Amino acid sequence: MAQLTPARTTSPRRKVRWWRGAVLLLAGIYFIVPLAAAGYFSIDDPKGFSFEAYTGLLSAEGFLESLWLTLGLALVTVVVLLLLLVPALVAVRLGSPRLRPVIDVLCTLPLVVPPVALTAGLIGVLRWGPDYLMDTPFFQTFVFVQDPDFPLVLVIAYVLMSLPLAYRAIDAGLRAVDVRTLVEAARNCGASWPRAVFTVVLPNLRGALLNASFLTLALVLGEFTAASILGYQPFPVWIYSVGNSQAHMSVAVSILSLLITWLLLLLLATVGRERGTKTTS
């Protein structure tokens, strides 16, 4: 009896693999072509190629000040968001699961408020405060949050704008972890509530915390509306003001900020991959 040989089947993954390459190629063209055109514009000069737009950045007026201001605002915004969200979401998971829909609505509500409307509301509050609180100790609070050297009012605006993004990232991390079981196991081993949260829950949320931090950082680095309307000059506003007089330098700074954001994304992906490797091993 003749031996039947099984028909050769092609793996479905092999069939669609070239589609993946095509999609990646189109995505690369979509992102690289505009970036290359902007890079060419930044070095284009009637006399030839010139890198003056890049070499003159450090000596440009207001460059370092606006950059450090934006990084400081981003750092404070990340810290405030994590201090607000992590304890609240962990407490809801452990003690009040019925409050999850309420927290979900409150944290996603800023998505329906445009940045212009949010900024207009902040301006209204800042104008109302001095008129009615002039003779009270709270007047100095309104002065303090509007300090031009470090405007905390921008931190308030950035926290509200970043709240939905950070909430979704942390909530996704909590959904992937059985927080109640981890805390109960730590408590049975003699750990206190704070120690159980800091040494057991937070290490399992490192990826989610990194995602929330990166999304907040990306938003602060690119936010223009609130800072411009309120009259401050962080990095995005400085780029816009430089673009009115030095177009080449404005494009050069935009390219550098985009590359920095990409490097942060790659760093985040590397950290997450290393954690996944350690977990599986």
Q: Which CATH number fits domain 63-234: 1.10.357.10, 3.40.50.880, 3.40.50.300, 1.10.3720.10?
A: 1.10.3720.10
Most confident of 29-43, 75-89, 192-206: 75-89
Looking at residue 3, its pLDDT comes to: 52
> Residue-wise over 164-197: b if at least 16 C-beta within 10 A, else e?
bbbbbbbbebbeeeebeebbeebeeeebeeeebb
Looking at residue 1, its pLDDT comes to: 45
Looking at residue 162, its pLDDT comes to: 92
CA distance 12 to 261: 35
Looking at residue 15, its pLDDT comes to: 53
CA distance 159 to 28: 32
Here the tokens at position 169 are: 């990232």
pLDDT value at 13 more than 70: no
Average pLDDT of span 137-146: 78
Most confident of 15-24, 50-59, 184-193, 217-226: 217-226
CB 12 within 8 A of CB 22: no
CA torsion through residues 212, 220, 151, 254, sign: positive
> Residue-wise over 10-33: b if at least 16 C-beta within 10 A, else e?
eeeeeeeeeeeeeeeeeeeeeeee
Rounded to the nearest integer, the mean pLDDT of the chain is 80
Average pLDDT of span 160-167: 92
| Residue of higher predicted confidence among 89 and 135 | 89
CA distance 63 to 42: 17
Share of the chain above pLDDT 70, in %: 87
What are the phi and psi torsion angles at 266 (to 5°)?
-65, -40
Lowest-pLDDT range, 73-77, 122-126, 152-156, 161-165?
122-126
Looking at residue 272, its pLDDT comes to: 60
Phi-psi region of 190 (alpha: psi -120 to 50; beta: other; left: phi over 0): left
What are the phi and psi torsion angles at 18 (to 5°)?
-70, -25
CA distance 248 to 50: 10
Looking at residue 76, its pLDDT comes to: 93
Average pLDDT of span 110-131: 83
Q: Which helix (H) or strand (E) holds 156?
A: helix 152-175
Distance of CA 7 to the CA centre of its chain: 51
Looking at residue 79, its pLDDT comes to: 92
Helix, strand, coil shares, percent, the chain, to 5: 80, 0, 20
Q: How confident is the model at residue 82 (pLDDT cuts 50, 70, 90)?
A: very high
Q: Taking the model in full, what pTM does it have?
A: 0.79
CB 72 within 8 A of CB 131: no
